[in-house]
Amino acid sequence: MDKEKIDQIIDKHEGEASSLIQILLEIQSENHWLPGNALERVSEKLNVPLSRIKHIATFYKAFSLIPKGRNEIHICMGTACHVRGANRVLDTVQDITGIKPGETDLDLKFSLETVNCLGCCALGPVMEINGKTHGKMTPAETAGILKNYE
C-alpha cells in the first residue's frame, strides 16, 4: 500500500492517535489486510510505538497481518446452522475453493473462516460472502453462489 493512500486515511482522522483502530480498519478495508509498511507509516505519523499497533492488530480478530482474498467467506457453525447442515455447506466451499478455514487461496480470490454465529439463526445454514448473507443454504446453492464471485 502506498504512503500517499495511508497518509490520506490518517489525515482524514486529523492524525489523532485516538483514531488508531478506525485508521487500521480503513487500511484493512482498502487492502484486505494490514501490510507491515502501512503499520510502520501509521506508527510514524501518529507517534504510536509499532509494538502497540501490532498488539492491537493481533488482538482484534477483525484485523489480519497476512493477505486475505478479495472475497471473504464466513460459514456459520453455530448450533442452529450446524443441525441444518452447515458442515455440508463448508465441505462444498472447501471442495470448490481448495482451502480450509483460516486459509486464503494462492490467487487471493477467496479467504475462508468459520464463525460461531452470524446472528440470523432462522436462516441456517448461513454463508456470508463480503458481508452479504446467504441463508438456508444447500450444497448446490453454495456452488452456484460461489460461481458469482470467481
pLDDT confidence of residue 31: 86
Do 81 and 142 lie in one domain? The reply is: yes
The answer to whether position 47 is within a domain reads: yes
Do 8 and 37 lie in one domain? The reply is: yes
Domain that holds residue 46: 3-59
Do 77 and 122 lie in one domain? The reply is: yes
The total number of structural domains in the chain stands at 2
pLDDT confidence of residue 14: 87
Which positions ≥6 away from 96 have C-beta within 8 Å?
142, 143, 146
- Blockwise average pLDDT, block size 10, the chain, 150 residues: 90 89 93 93 95 94 89 96 97 97 94 94 96 95 91
Instruction: Write down the pTM of the prediction.
Output: 0.78
pLDDT confidence of residue 106: 93
The answer to whether position 26 is within a domain reads: yes
pLDDT confidence of residue 36: 94
Which positions ≥6 away from 98 have C-beta within 8 Å?
105
pLDDT confidence of residue 21: 95
Which positions ≥6 away from 117 have C-beta within 8 Å?
76, 78
Do 50 and 109 lie in one domain? The reply is: no
The answer to whether position 25 is within a domain reads: yes
Do 87 and 40 lie in one domain? The reply is: no
Do 94 and 138 lie in one domain? The reply is: yes
Do 53 and 10 lie in one domain? The reply is: yes
What CA–CA distance (Å, rounded) separates 81 from 123? 8
Do 47 and 82 lie in one domain? The reply is: no
Three cell numbers written together for 124? 441456517
pLDDT confidence of residue 89: 97
The answer to whether position 93 is within a domain reads: yes
pLDDT confidence of residue 1: 77
Do 36 and 86 lie in one domain? The reply is: no
Query: Which residue is it, cell 475462508?
Result: 112
Do 109 and 88 lie in one domain? The reply is: yes
